[in-house]
A and B are shown apart, each in its own frame.
Chain A
Amino acid sequence: MRSPRVAEILSVIADGGGERAALPARLCAVCLSALPVSGVGVALMTVDGPSGVVLAATDERARQLEELQFALGEGPCVEASGGGRPVLEPDLVVAGSPRWPRFGAAVLDAGVHAIFAFPLHVGAVRVGVLDLYRDSAGRLTGPDLVEALAFADAATVVVLNLQNHDGVEDTPSALIEPIDGRAVVHQATGMIAIQLGITLAEALLRLRAHAYAAGRKVSGIAADVVDRRLRFDDGEPGITTQRDRRERP
């Protein structure tokens, strides 16, 4: 998650400025140009499974394939999100129908021969799925797979930042940071979720927004939370707490 490549991808897609709602589409376009695939889509997921919302797709067919999976309740993106691991199907002619009886047939009719789905996860925080489609069969090479995983990490940040988050300022520079993967960050996320009675996804956003507002590293704020020097429930939640102001004038 702290990969330089992830930061690079995020800065490329944020460079155009503008609305953060436009970022998923830009991410799909950059991903399409960087990898040997025919189409890219990003869909929202919740803990209960597919949400039915396709955030962005590079073409109409990619969008339809996303929607089809929601409608059928089966397919690689459903499986990737449920299992928390990438689902890589390099040859749908051979393996598609046995694996996904209804989706497998439909996807071949649409001329898609390989599909690669990557869950957008931060532990228990599930935000969506990145799907790559290709007209020809064949595996992703090792380097391509690494690149695809970097795009999945970048997409996780982009989609997480689209979640509903009251009280968190819409600050584009805070959006482009990769998620700090240190244990202390995830521990603090769990603590903040309990302190404020919010979801882990919201807690992670509050933590990141707080660090941004305070001009400090996310891991530094997280360490303060874990060491119980900072609470999020005794002041303006997620921006600056009273106690924090006292300690850091």
Chain B
Amino acid sequence: MTSREELLAATFVDLADTLVADFDVIDFLHTLATRSVELLDADAAGIMLADHDGGLHVMASSAEEARLLELYELQNNEGPCLDCFRSGRPVARDDLPAMRSSWPAFTEQLQLLGFHSAQALPMRLREETIGALNLFRLEPGRLGEADLGIGQAMADVATVGLIQERSLAASELLATQLQTALTSRVRLEQAKGMLAERTGLPMDQAFRLMRDFARGRGRRLSDVAAHIIDGSIDDSLLRRRSRKGTGTRPQT
């Protein structure tokens, strides 16, 4: 197998493996976002999930730009991800003029951040759409059919993984799993704020510190967030590790 095929196979195993005892929704969604960028002809990826009222939340992204674009979509109520979530179908456009006519404000923001293409794939199980996977490209033009197919397969496996738990009925699955995911997401933001305040770093760099620390130690992002909140991880430890390991520039 080529290294891409190996990574693809490993990704499907990872995305299907949600019944393990220490399953963590946020880590899981970050895996989906980062692997999408590694495996597909995309430069950034983001995932939105809906809560019990159908309100969408940005849950994970491969890069800060993807997160900003998704937030922008939510604020302006316009963009491929929203169309995708509402229709339950993949959404893509051939070129920038076509994107501009569908989503004028979103396309402008997209270009401001250096991207020239955006598409969204539904995260769907039977009739229920629970969210969308968004793929952003620096180059103009839609993602190729083969890549869209692989991306959809990843989104499908992730969706099944996310809402599987054998003893519960479907609506209960969605309610309990998404509730857990939203709680983890909120805790992550609270931890980011605490770390940003303690270190004087901007929010995105505070997040990078947490993420690099979690990766470097093989720990779950949610656990690192919880330990930042309860004070059991020393901030200087996070910063020391980051200077050495990843070249993140701490600012004061």
Q: Which residues of A contact B (CB under 8 A)?
A: 1-3, 5, 83-86, 88, 119, 121-125, 139-142, 145-146, 149-150, 181, 183, 186-195, 200, 226
Contact = CB atoms under 8 A, between A and B. Distances in A.
A94 B128 CA distance: 29
Contacts of B53: 3, 5, 146, 150
Which residue among A145, A146, A183, A192 has the maximum number of chain B CB atoms within 10 Å of its CB?
A183
Contacts of B183: 84-85, 119, 121, 123
B203 A226 contact: yes
Given A85-B176, A145-B52, A200-B229, A181 B57 contact: yes
Interface string B162-187: 00000011011001110110111111
A85 B51 CA distance: 13
Contacts of B197: 190-191, 193-195
A88 B176 contact: yes
A186 B168 CA distance: 31
B189 A190 contact: yes
B interface, size bucket: 35 or more
A124 B172 contact: no
A111 B110 CA distance: 59
A1 to B, nearest CB: 8
Contacts of B91: none
B190 A200 contact: yes
Contacts of A119: 179, 183
Nearest to A84: B183
Given A3-B55, A85-B179, A195-B197, A123 B190 contact: yes
B193 interface: yes
A130 B171 CA distance: 19
B160 interface: no
A121 B185 CA distance: 12
A193 B183 CA distance: 18
A186 B179 contact: no
B203 A187 contact: yes
A192 B188 CA distance: 15
| A-B CB proximity, top 6 nearest | A190-B193, A123-B186, A186-B189, A142-B171, A187-B193, A190-B194
B193 A191 contact: yes
Nearest to B167: A95
Nearest to A194: B197
Contacts of A192: 193
Contact of A187 (B184, B190, B229): B190
